[in-house]
Every structure is written in structure tokens, then in C-alpha cells.
Structure 1
Amino acid sequence: MASTTWLHSPAFTHKLLPVIHCPAAFLRRNNIRRPHHFTISLSLICLFVEFCIVWVADDLKFEGKLKIVEYPDPILRAKNKRIKEFDEDLKRLVDEMFDVMYKTDGIGLSAPQVGINVQLMEIVLVNPQIQRYSRKIVPYEEGCLSFPGIHADVERPDSLKVDAQDISGARFEVNLSGLPARVFQHEYDHLQGILFFDRMSDVVIDSIRAELQTREHYILIYILIYFYRMLNIKYEERTGLSSPERIDARRRSKKPAGFGKS
């Protein structure tokens, strides 16, 4: 944490990346040739900056506009902190998340999907906990803003009982069924670091495997493992993953993520 506190928000990174790219733009405008390793270095720096966000993205304060975090960004697997301060920063985050959700035609959104690792989803439910699931399990085609263009069947309980807090901190309970229950479970999974393909069968996974692999083919990401080891950043402790995610690493015999209380 200490080694990356200078990256205090995703907005900082969005401001920094154009600066990193400036030398490349300058060279293009002036028709100056550059060595291949220079291109690699710039790309590596950009990816390294983006990856560092995962270690400090648990603050409710942010700058600029929120953007959707897409797979395989490890921020989607990172641990999400419970919210303790019900203040103006929380209200602003809620408003901005609703704005992002509506602009992207989403029907649900969780804080980690916009780069902030806290227990918040847009319905609005703060620090939600599932008290009870129904035994009826139903399939339904789902999509996800963090997986643009990918849709597949996911099996989930048809109804459930939820305990949560509202934006002022007051506790309440709600019973959900049908589509509202599915939307809640999808967003709740995000708060647990579970992605929708974790709940898919092997057959369904195979139907979208090529699309997932396309998203994973950023070879320079694997070079970043060296940087994490060199800086002694506890990647596995923070995300629960020993290395950047690949769909091919999923064991075919593994059962879909189970349902239960967290």
C-alpha cells in the first residue's frame, strides 16, 4: 500500500496517462523514428499505472468522471471494504454511479465496476448481506458492463431476502424475486469478487471462451508480475489471484461459484 499511495484515485491515472503518451505523440508529429523498446516501455508504464489502482481504490473520494472497469482488470477481483462514513462523498459516488449506469444502458452497477473497492451497489444498497435464498434455481441470459458484448446463461436462485443500509446508514430488509433478485445477485457477486462467468457451466463457458480470450490477450500484462515482485506488492493477498486472470486456467471440473452468505 505504502509504495503506491501516490495513486490516490482512478482520476489521477486518467490525468497521468496522457502525459506518459506525450513523447510518443511528439515523435509522430515530428516524423521522428523511435526504437522498438521505447514503444514497449511506454506501454509497460501505462499498464503498470493502471494496475496500481487496485491497491488504493477503496476511498470514496474521486476526481473526474467514473468509467467502467472491464475484464480482466484485477480490480474486479479485489476485496471490497465496508462503508463506515455515510457522508457527502458517499452521496456523490451514488449519484455518479447512477449517471454511469444510465449512460451505458445498464440495469445494475457495483462500485468495483467503476474502480472503487467498497461495498456499494446501485439500487441503492450499502453493505448488503443475503439472509436467505430460495431453493428454486432458474437460468437467464445475463450481460455485464465489465464484459461488453458478452451474454450467456447464468443460473441463480429466483428469490432472496436481503439486509442492507440506505444512504443515511439506516438498516432495512427487503425481499426480492424475479429480475430484481437477479440484478441484485449479479451486483452482490461483484462485491465478493465473483464474476458472472464463475457461475456458468463448462458448456456455457465454452460458448463465450473465444470472446473472453480476446479480452485477455494483453501480453504485456504478464510482464507486470515482475514489477509486483520487485516492489513487494502483495498481489495475491489483495486480489486472491496468484497472477493476472486467464479463462483457460479455469478447471473444467470446477463447480460454478456457490450460493451462500458472506
Structure 2
Amino acid sequence: MACAARLHCHRLLANHALCPSLSLCRPSTFPAVFFQLSRISATGRLFSSMDGSKPPLTPVLAQAKRGFSVSEDKVASPDDLLYAGPLRIVEYPDPILRAKNKRIESFDDNLKKLVGEMFDVMYKTDGIGLSAPQVGINVQLMVFNPVGERGEGEEIVLVNPRVNKYSKKMVLFNEGCLSFPGIYADVRRPETVKIDARDINGTRFTVNLSGLPARVFQHEFDHLQGILFFDRMTDEVLDAIRTKLQALEKKYEARTGFPSPERIETRQSKKVAVGFGK
């Protein structure tokens, strides 16, 4: 099999170069040693490490930029967390995917209910990660489980995540996204990342992620910044999926009766920080 991987926003088949002992790896069969997610504690904290030879972490210099400064983020009201179920996946080019996402300060039953519903949608759509804007709720919340099976692996909840550091080493994966059904293409991202976040109870914590969890986090973190995975593709890679993106734009127009809010043929290259959105 070609040395490639699929992150189907996210079901992933691991690159042989990243998983040398296996010719083909699915999240449900990954050995624990691959991503070394120990477990979430009673407070919801997550701890992760690959091994003693992790790439060096580079400080992020863009933390005062848009998307990183807490002072610039609007706070979500209780109404922002309310929704009429069931949740559905929002597909490109819906403007919800580009909207500003508000910071969460209320860690109540509404948040816990939303988290539970997001995990339900994620598992039903064969995913391993999901961000709140992907289900139409513009708040800074993501959930993921690298194994992708209910009752297996660890269910991770990150609220108001911020990037602290990321590695210099970059890794290429063939990514997909539930908001872009049937579309897969190569995206290069840092191999490891250090983040600050809150858990579902509002407790602050810091965690190092590497391997698959780092990849899923970065994809979902981009969603919280209004950045979509094709924004990080080279022009050559983007050309290979251009017609599929145009088909989604036409699907949106047929469904809503409105012009597509963005068009790939008139897209100008987005300048985004390495691995993360500004």
C-alpha cells in the first residue's frame, strides 16, 4: 500500500513511515505505544507523550494575534450553547465554518449535554474528532477519541484551547473532513504540539500531544479559528480536489437557494501560521 494516511475528520489510516511495525493501521487497532495516550484523570485532564525522542518544541510567536488572544475573544452566552437537536454536520461552504467562535465560560449541564451530543455525532459519522462549529455552534470546543470507537480509547474534551508550542518537524498526512465528504488531500503539520485548555469542568491544564492526537487536535483547532484544511494545501494539491469543492458549492446553492459565500475558483491564498491559525 502507498505510504499515505487518511484522517477522515476523522477516521485515519496510518502512514507506514509513521507506524513502521504495521503495513496498515486503523485507529481501532493502533497499539497503545503508537500514540501513548495514558488516560484522562477524574478531572478530565489528558496526558500524552510519544517517547524520549520527541522533536523540539518551538514557541508560538503569534499568540497575541487574532485567535490566540483571550482578551479579543467574545464570551459565549448560555443561549450560544443551546441548540435544537439532533445535531448535524455543517458542510462547506456554509459560512458557519468561517465564523468567529466564542470563548466558553459557563461549565454547566448545557455544556455537558452538548459534549455528549457531539460525541454521538462523531461516532455515528465514523469520525475520531469534531469541533463545535462543524455542528453549527460557534464556540471554542472540540471533542475527539483517537480510537474512534465508543467504549474504547479515551474521550477527550478541550475547551478554549490555545497553542503554547509546536515542533519544528513537519509531517505530511492525507486528510479528510466530515465537512468535506468524500474529499481527501495532503496536509503538512507539526508532529507535536503543546497546548493549554480547560476540561469539561473548567479546570485549566497543559498537555503535550504527538502522533495521531496531535494531528487531530490541529485539524480541529483550525476549525475553531475559521480555517479549513484546504487553506493549508499547496496549489498543486488543491488543483486535484478543485472540482469536488466546486460540487459542494453547487450543492449548497441548490439546498439554500443562495449564492455560495465563497468560491474556490476565486480563492486567494490564505496566509496562516505554520500549523495554526492567527
- TM > 0.5 between the two? yes
Q: Output one character per residue of 1:100-148: Cα deviation in whole Å (capped at 9) or x when no partner.
A: 0000010100000000000000031000000001001111011100001
What is the percent sequence identity of the aligned residues?
68
CA deviation after TM superposition for structure 1 residue 222, in Å: 9.8
User: Does structure 2 conserve the Cα–Cα contact (< 8 Å) formed by 1:71 and 1:146?
Assistant: yes
Q: How many angstroms does 1:256 deviate by?
A: 5.8
Q: In the TM superposition, what is the alpha-carbon distance from 1:257 to its structure 2 partner?
A: 2.7
- Structure 2 residue aligned with 1:192: 225
Distance apart, 1:223 and its partner CA: 7.3
CA distance in 1 between counterparts of 2:270 and 2:158 reads 29
Aligned with 2:175 (options 136, 142, 148): 142
- Residue 209 (structure 1) aligns with: 242
Give the distance between the partners of 2:271 and 2:190, measured in 1 at CA. 13
C-alpha deviation, 1:64, in angstroms: 1.9
Distance 1:64 1:255 in 2: 34
Residue 250 (str. 1) matches residue 258 (str. 2): no
- The match for 1:158 among 175, 191, 195 is 191
C-alpha contact (below 8 Å) 2:227/2:277 kept by paired residues: no
By percentage of residues, which structure has more helix? 1
Matches within 5 A, 1:220-231: 224=258
SS in 2 for 1:59: helix
Compared CA separation, residues 89 and 176, structure 1 to 2 (3 A): same
Deviation of the 1:250 alpha carbon: 1.8
Identify the match of residue 68 of structure 1 among 89, 99, 109: 89
Structure 1 counterpart of 2:208? 175
Give the structure with the higher percent strand: 2
Counterpart-to-counterpart distance in 2, 1:220 and 1:100: 25
TM-score normalised according to structure 1 size: 0.67
Q: Distance in 2 between matches of 1:208 and 1:92?
A: 36
- Give the secondary structure class of the aligned counterpart of 1:198: helix
- Shifted more, 95-104 versus 62-71: the winner is 62-71
Give 1:139's aligned amino acid. Answer: L
Larger Rg: 1
Q: Please list the CA deviations of residues 214-248 of structure 1 after superposition, one character each: whole Å capped at 9, or x if unmatched.
A: 111255799757xxxxxxxxxxxxxxxxx811111
Change (3 A) 1:211 1:141: same
- Paired position in structure 1 for 2:138: 117
Q: Which runs of 4+ in 1 moved over 4 A?
A: 218-225
Corresponding letter in the other structure for 1:59: D
Aligned equivalents of 2:165, 2:105: Cα separation in 1: 24
Contact kept? 1:78, 1:117, Cα under 8 Å:
yes
| 1:185 alignment partner, SS class | helix
Separation (CA, whole Å) in 2 of partners of 1:180 and 1:63 = 30
Gaps of 5+ in 1: 1-55, 226-242
CA distance in 1, matches of 2:183, 2:79: 27
SS of the residue aligned with 1:149? Answer: strand
| Cross-structure match for 2:103 | 82
Tell me which residue corresponds to 1:91: 112
Report the secondary structure of 1:176's partner residue. Answer: strand
Residue identity in the other structure for 1:257: V
d(CA) in 2 for partners of 1:255 and 1:168?
A: 35
Q: Distance in 2 between matches of 1:153 and 1:256?
A: 18
Taking the TM superposition and a 5 Å limit, the aligned residue runs for 1:10-29 are none
- Structure 1 distance, partners of 2:164, 2:227, is 18
CA–CA distance in structure 1, aligned partners of residues 277 and 244 of structure 2: 31
The 8 Å contact of residues 101 and 139 in structure 2, kept in 1 or not, is answered as yes
Which structure has more RCO (C-alpha within 8 Å, separation ≥ 6)? 2
**Structure 2: segments with no counterpart, 5+ residues:** 1-76, 144-155
Q: Is the 8 A contact 1:58 1:117 kept in 2?
A: no
Q: Does the Cα contact within 8 Å between 1:159 and 1:178 map onto a contact in 2?
A: yes
CA–CA separation in structure 2 for the residues paired with 1:148 and 1:224: 21
Q: Give the RMSD, CA atoms, in angstroms.
A: 2.2
